[in-house]
Amino acid sequence: MELAVKRAAEMAAVFMIGDGLMGLLQPERHVGLWRSDVTAVDLLVRPFGGRPGRRRAYGLLQIAAGIALSAQLRRKADA
């Protein structure tokens, strides 16, 4: 795998883990921070508005996906 692709995948994993953790620990503040007048951006967070439990569940999913991606990258590096 090319270095640029590896770095991009690693950055995606870090973002998923970090964003998931913030959504898990501070769901209302985190969703409020990402609300936007830009429709495309707001569409991403609108389903979580006023639903902290939903955002926490999504945060757990993001963390798991980020860890899985990181583990896959490590397996490829070790191969």
Q: pLDDT of 38-77, one tens digit each?
A: 999 999 999 999 999 999 999 999 999 999 999 999 888 8
CB atoms near residue 69 (< 10 Å): 17
Residues 6+ positions from 33 with CB-CB distance below 8 Å? none
Domain assignments of the chain as residue spans, ordered by start:
3-78
| Number of residues in the chain | 79
- Give the pTM: 0.87
Retrieve residue 17's tokens.
């883990």
